Amino acid sequence: MKRIATACLLIALLLPLGGCGDSPEDTSSQSAIEDSRVVDEDNQTSPDLLDEVAYICENKDGEEVIELLADFSAEPLLLRIEDSTFKLDRVESASGSRYETDGIVFWIKGSEAMLTMRGSDFHCSTATD
């Protein structure tokens, strides 16, 4: 009887300690979650939340190449193409982020993008890829 009482007392004292202390693995997982820049699908923003991202865009034949700089620091999005700057408004998109203005559509998902301009479609990737 004394053994059962001692065992119950020992279990009662040690049980609350099971949840105490973080192992190094738990801490690193938590910091990785806190440092991540994951954005929910309904509120996606630019790649890696950078203010400016350079893209290189090619038409499907690879005959025409456009270099552009997308400035995500504020709304509307500013696209700098050659010597021109265009203001594009964000519009609803099922996936990724989509911006439009008269005659220009810029759609982003991850490090890839699509540009429609002057009646042509261009596949874009970040200049650092």
The CATH number linked to 68 is 2.40.128
Burial track 101-118 (b if 16+ CB lie within 10 A, e otherwise) = eeebebbbeeeebbbebe
Determine, yes or no, domain membership for 13: no
Question: What pTM did the predictor assign?
Answer: 0.60
**Pick from 101, 94, 50: which is nearest to 71 by CA?**
50
> Residues in the chain with pLDDT < 70?
1-50, 129
Print the domain residue range for 87: 43-126
- Residue 122: inside a domain, yes or no? yes
Closest to 70 in 3D by CA, of 108, 118, 116, 121:
108
Q: Is residue 93 part of a domain?
A: yes
Place of tokens 């004292």: 13
Say what the pLDDT of residue 13 is: 53
Within-domain flag for 95? yes
The pLDDT of residue 29: 37
20 belongs to a structural domain:
no
Domain count, the chain: 1
